Structure 1
């Protein structure tokens, strides 16, 4: 420990001897690391797997179950109520959930101003499929229509001021609903269960309502809906269930390759049956897309973030090169000191230890500077791309990654000076 303090003291004297080149080296390296880390944070979170244990078991089935003929069309991302019922007729999946999102207004009583909320209209398996945590209460026991809803934790605190509110009633669009559950803190990042039209960038919904109730009360999708016949969107309770109003996303859980193959065969058989019945004249275009591939399938990957990540990586490499050049200049100015220590008996391992302490000290200053610069860049990106705000948070894992990256870059910056100091010709160094 005493030797370590001695090395730190020597490093500090070296910094005080030439503070400006040292500060410039730290600043350049901090700038490169901070800018890169802020962009890498967005890229990492947008491409992370929110359900690593299930991402290869949850699938998004799509079929060309439409009443027109198209030889080169892709299967639409949303299905009608009747088509979902046909897909749900199979007992192959271990869980299944149809869903869509809608808008609504929530308040505690008629005298209170209404609060705009987003509503996830879905079925009971949604919560188990996507590992949605429950803080209080329970979910619906079946998929029947019920005047019962679940609240997010933030919505419960905002509207009612607390989370233990099971059994209370709220007005959703002036209809009275009973609260049966409150979710714990939960935000799937990215929100892959709603990936179409880049909805995966949006926060989780405020309210969760049974699918049948959503149709009974004519909640139209706020994301994507279309119709292929004479249907009235305002009459989901009737036309929505019987006509070709497409607005439902459908997810199934297939735990084994055998289940996945069996469900693909089921979808193929369903197309055959539909064609035999004279419906849906288009060629088969079935898709069974895995959860982790859903954003790529819809072409919703953020090209801006990817491009910025590449550019900032190049900027980091340039910063490392420039910082290394400044570090070499510092070594040249201190070369006589290193040579004298070697002449007085310091071996190469002792010189290497001194340079490692120098690197550790520089890494500490650089890490602090990089964190400040990364924070500022993240705030700037949040103002430029508000939709990406959810992906700007840091956790322990990301901070450790920044620390490791800082150590690695600091090592690269001091590598060549370290080799020159330890393995250069002593006679030549003393003459210089």
Structure 2
């Protein structure tokens, strides 16, 4: 019977194409607006590393001003100082750990025809690559000995390898960066984190960096500090080292803890460390140290912006308005078919048969509207991409799951919108309608 009802639905669409197309357009507009915002919110709030997001923890230490918190009502700073980052790394109390920061420098290509250019650098420790499941095309990351020895080594992105070395295996080759020569030890595969959770302070949706080097080199090479730098008191000494060893926070600290026991042990270590620093004249506030896993850290930093959530609710309300218009159009369409419905009832069709026939018709309109709505959603996402450029590259694509959600939402919405008009169509009195024909 379904095939028969579907054929009747197609015939009904052809008999009244204008009214049917208006309903399709109403559903398409609602679905298009909804799926545009749903897609953005879905990607912004998705788990960027589901394999181990509950094992990676961001470290916060409350080394701030004793007279006021770093962030109301009583939150510690969102980054750590150089002193604390290096101390925690030397302690090696976690299964894996990496302090990190963002820097920058000028790349000087060997090819004299290519001009020097600025690039971003991720300063990190050797555990960075294993912690965050970083994929390699050639070579590997450096080892812990390179951290200790401050070896002049780098890992480069695939895009940078293509630009500097034509995509060849560049392991062992030299690249000049920030005025120094570095030996390439690894080349990454295409690697994008959405969101880029390991450093939300410089942008959760920024691209991953093109260069990675041992973080201790920041001190010996006096590399720049990029990203947010916050201080609660002036450095005790002038110059680069005075600033580096000050109470200014500009570094991120991540640890990998495999179970609750390791987490509890590391938290105890952090509190013990804070007590030691307090005895040295630092950490004048009561212990307020924290460990946040990946999803908790993203929620704390409002990676899904409030205005994006507001737009989602507004788009759902717009879909509701579109469905109300669809209900009105369906009532008009089905009332125009009162004679046909009465004839079907007169020759033996039950109310259930009439109900199912028109429910299939509304479902067909919903599916067509959903497909058209997908096109509008793609158009809307393209508009976001044009408006925000590279920042939105990873937010403007729909995966099969989102396509299925769009079609399902359109089908369910249209059926819900059609329930009342379809029920009304079954209440037509056949006798009175046939007499009037």
What is the 5 A alignment of 1:15-164?
15-65=13-63, 69-73=66-70, 74-109=75-110, 111=112, 112-142=114-144, 143-144=147-148, 145-162=150-167, 164=169
Deviations for 1:2-38, whole angstroms, at most 9, x for unmatched residues?
Answer: x665444422321222111111111011001101110
Matched residue SS, 1:246: coil
Change (3 A) 1:328 1:165: farther
> What is the rounded CA distance, in whole Å, between the counterparts of 1:347 and 1:92 in structure 2?
74
**Residues 1:401 and 2:405 aligned together:** yes
Task: Say which of 369, 374, 377 aligns to 1:366.
Answer: 369
Structure 1 residues 180 and 89: alpha-carbon distance in aligned structure 2, compared to 1, 3 A threshold: closer
- Which blocks of at least 5 consecutive residues in structure 1 are unaligned? none
Q: Distance in 2 between matches of 1:431 and 1:175?
A: 96
Q: Would the aligned equivalents of 1:239 and 1:245 in 2 still touch at CA under 8 Å?
A: no
Match of 2:142, SS state, is coil
Is 2:393 aligned against 1:417?
no
Whether the 8 Å CA contact 1:99–1:211 is kept in 2: the answer is yes
Name the CA distance, whole Å, in 1 between partners of 2:253 and 2:38: 32
CA contact (8 A) 1:359 1:410 kept: yes
TM-score by length of 2: 0.88
Secondary structure of residue in 2 paired with 1:96: strand
Contact 1:57 1:254 in 2 (8 A): yes
Q: Relative to structure 2, which stretch is displaced further, 148-157 or 382-391?
A: 382-391
The match for 1:263 is 266
CA distance, structure 1, for counterparts of residue 365 and residue 91 of structure 2? 62
For 2:197, the equivalent position in structure 1 comes to 192
Question: CA shift at 1:338, angstroms?
Answer: 2.2
Alignment of 1:268-279 (within 5 A): 268-279=271-282
CA distance in 2, matches of 1:126, 1:389: 25
How far did 1:348 drift?
4.9
Name the CA shift for 1:163/1:4 in 2 (closer, same or farther; >3 Å).
farther
* Count of matched residue pairs: 425
* Deviation for aligned residue 1:281: 2.5
Which residue, 317, 331, 354 being the options, matches 1:328?
Answer: 331
Give the 3-state SS of the residue equivalent to 1:170 in structure 2.
Answer: strand
Can you list the C-alpha shifts for 1:229-280, whole angstroms capped at 9, x where unaligned? Answer: 13456x3xx5566554532110111222222222222122122222223333
Separation (CA, whole Å) in 2 of partners of 1:115 and 1:277? 44
Give, in angstroms, the shift of residue 402 of structure 1: 0.9
Q: Structure 1 residues 159, 347: closer, same or farther in 2, change over 3 A?
A: farther
The 2-side partners of 1:262 and 1:429 are apart by: 80
Residue 408 of structure 1 deviates from its aligned partner by: 0.9
Under a length normalisation based on structure 1, what TM-score does the superposition of the two structures give? 0.89
- Residue equivalent to 1:170: 175
Moved more, 322-331 or 239-248: 239-248
Contact 2:36 2:377 in 1 (8 A): yes
Residues 338 and 428 of structure 2 are in contact (CA less than 8 Å); yes or no, is this contact kept in structure 1?
Answer: no
